[in-house]
Amino acid sequence: MPPAVPARRPGLTHGPAAIDRPTVSFELFPPRTPEATAQLWTTVQRLAAVRPDFISVTYGASGSTRATTRELVRRLLAETSVLPIAHLTCVGATRSELVTVIEEFLDEGVRTFLALRGDPPVGAADWRPHPGGLSRASELVELLREVEAARCGSSASQALRGAAHKLSVAVAAFPTGHPGPGSPAERRGRDLQALLAKQRAGADFAITQVFFDPATYTDLLRDARALGITIPILAGVIPTTDPGRLLRVEELTGVPVPADLLARLLAADDEDERRRVGLRASIDVANAVLDAGAPGLHVYTFNRHRDALALVEGTGLCDAAPDGPSDPIARPHDLEPQGAP
Ligand code: FAD
C-alpha cells in the first residue's frame, strides 16, 4: 500500500481570511548579541513571510530581558505586519515595577500579552514571590486588566483606543503537568484550577507547554472543558530535530523526551536523516492534535526558521515561504507516516 498522504488543510498562503483554518504562530526569544540580532532578523522575515497569526517574544528569568524583549516587540510592530505578543513574568519585580513594565509595553502599542508566573531563579529550591510582588499568573492577568482599565478611564481618547483595539491576554497550560509536588493526578488538578483562575481573571486563550504525546494534549482539553474552561487552548509544538536541544528542553521544562525518539535521532546516519526522523515525529504530533480539535499550532522556534517552517509545511498549513524553496524534507508527500511499511 502506498503511504497515506495527509489531507491538505486550508493554509496560511490562502490568506488571513481563509475560512476556519487553524492558527499558526511562532515563539522567539530576544537576541543576546549584535550578531544574533542580525541573524534573528532574517528568521523574523522568513517566519513573517508565511503570514503567521502572531509571533510571541519570551521574557527572560528575573526580567533580565526587559529591554531586549521590548526592543524585539517594538521592531516587530514597526517593521512587520505580524501581531507581536509580549511575554511577561512576575519574577523579581514588585507590583508597582510590573505596572511600569506593562505601561512601557502599552506605550509601544503592544496589545497582546502572555502573562506568566515565571520560574524560580536557577539554584532556588522553590518558588517565592518577590517581596511586594505577585504570586501567580492569575494575579498578573488581573493586573494587566487593571492597568488597561485605569488607562481607559483616564481620558475619552484612551477609552476609545482601548475599545477599538482591545487588550488580549494569553496564559500558559501544561499537558504533562506543571512540575511540583504530588502525584500526576494532584498536579493535573492544581493545573486545571490554575487555568480556571486565569480564565476568571480575564485570560482570553492559553498556549501549552511543549509535549510529545498528543494524548496528553487531548486529555488536557477534555478535562479543562469538563471543568468549565472555555478559552481556546493552543498547542505548543517543537520541531524535534536536535537531540541536544530536546535534552535541554527536558531540563528546563521537566517534560521528558521519549526515549525511542531520542534513540532514533541519535542513530541517524547524517544530518538529513536526523531532520527527516525528527520532523516526521513532530509533524505526526501536530497533525494528531489538529485532527483532535486543536485551534492551531504555536511553534517553539529556538530562533531558527528552517525546522519551524518545515514543521508547519509538513502539516499542510503553509507552503514554503514565498522567498524560499519548499523544504524537500518537509513536503508531506515525501514523509511516510511513522510505522508505515
Ligand atoms: P501559574 O499559573 O501561576 O502556576 C504556577 C503553579 O501554581 C502551578 O503549579 C499551578 O498549578 C499552581 N497554581 C496557580 N494557581 C493555582 C490555583 N488557583 N489553584 C491551585 N494551584 C494553582 N517563563 C519565563 O520566565 N519567561 C517566558 O517567556 C516564558 N514563556 C512561557 C511560555 C509558555 C507557552 C509556557 C507554557 C511557559 C513559559 N514560561 C516562561 C515558563 C513559566 O513561567 C513556568 O512554567 C512557571 O513555572 C509557571 O508559570 P504559570 O504562568 O503557569 O504559573
326 or 192, higher pLDDT: 192
Question: Structural domain boundaries of the chain?
Answer: 22-334
Task: Ligand 1 pocket test: pick from 27, 98, 143, 178 the residue with the most ligand atoms within 8 Å of its Cβ.
Answer: 178
The pLDDT of residue 326 is 59
Question: From the CA of 117, how far away is ligand 1's center (Å)?
Answer: 5
> Which set of grid coordinates corresponds to residue 291?
485532527
Q: How far is CA 53 from CA 163, 281, 299, in A?
A: 21, 24, 12
**Residue 139 CB–ligand 1 contact under 6 Å:** no
Strand ranges (DSSP E) for the chain?
Answer: 23-28, 54-57, 84-89, 112-116, 168-173, 205-208, 233-237, 296-300
| The pLDDT of residue 17 is above 90 | no
**Residue 61 CB–ligand 1 contact under 6 Å:** yes
Closest by CA position to 212, among listed 278, 249, 256 = 256
pLDDT band at 329 (very low <50, low <70, confident <90, very high): low
> Which set of grid coordinates corresponds to residue 212?
510529545
Q: Whose CA is nearest to atom 3 of ligand 1?
A: 136
- Options 2.40.110.10, 3.20.20.140, 3.90.245.10, 3.20.20.220; CATH of 22-334: 3.20.20.220
**Which residues, 6 or more positions from 83, have their beta carbon under 8 angstroms from its beta carbon?**
53, 54, 55, 112
For cell 542513530, name the residue: 267
Closest by CA position to 297, among listed 46, 105, 50 = 50
| The pLDDT of residue 254 is above 60 | yes
The 10s digit of each residue's pLDDT in 188-234 is: 999 999 999 999 999 999 999 999 999 999 999 999 999 999 999 99
Q: How far is CA 93 from CA 79, 86, 130, 138, in A?
A: 30, 17, 6, 16
Q: Decide if 336 contacts 29 (C-beta within 8 A).
A: no
Q: Whose CA is nearest to atom 30 of ligand 1?
A: 58
Closest by CA position to 340, among listed 280, 290, 291, 300 = 280
Distance of CA 276 to the CA centre of its chain: 23
| The pLDDT of residue 85 is above 90 | yes
The pLDDT of residue 119 is 87
Q: Whose CA is nearest to atom 39 of ligand 1?
A: 118
Please report, as a single letter, which amino acid is at residue 205: F
**Residue 256 CB–ligand 1 contact under 6 Å:** no
Give phi and psi for 299, each to the nearest 5: -95, 125
Q: What is the 3-state secondary structure (H, E, C) of 204-258?
A: CEEEECCCCCHHHHHHHHHHHHHCCCCCCEEEEECCCCCHHHHHHHHHHHCCCCC
Lowest mean pLDDT among 107-116, 148-157, 273-282, 312-321: 312-321
CA distance 272 to 307: 12
Whether 27 is a known active-site residue: answer yes
Q: Whose CA is nearest to atom 18 of ligand 1?
A: 194
| The pLDDT of residue 338 is above 80 | no
pLDDT band at 15 (very low <50, low <70, confident <90, very high): low
Q: What number of other Cβ atoms are within 10 A of residue 311's Cβ?
A: 29
pLDDT band at 127 (very low <50, low <70, confident <90, very high): confident
The 10s digit of each residue's pLDDT in 139-163 is: 999 999 999 999 999 999 999 999 9
| The pLDDT of residue 272 is above 80 | yes
The pLDDT of residue 126 is 82
The 10s digit of each residue's pLDDT in 47-62 is: 999 999 999 999 987 6
The pLDDT of residue 46 is 96
Q: Decide if 222 contacts 233 (C-beta within 8 A).
A: no
Burial of residue 54 (CB within 10 Å: 0-12, 13-18, 19+) is buried
Q: How far is CA 99 from CA 76, 105, 140, in A?
A: 22, 10, 10
% pLDDT > 90, the chain: 77
Average pLDDT of the chain is: 89
The pLDDT of residue 10 is 60
Q: Decide if 264 contacts 277 (C-beta within 8 A).
A: yes
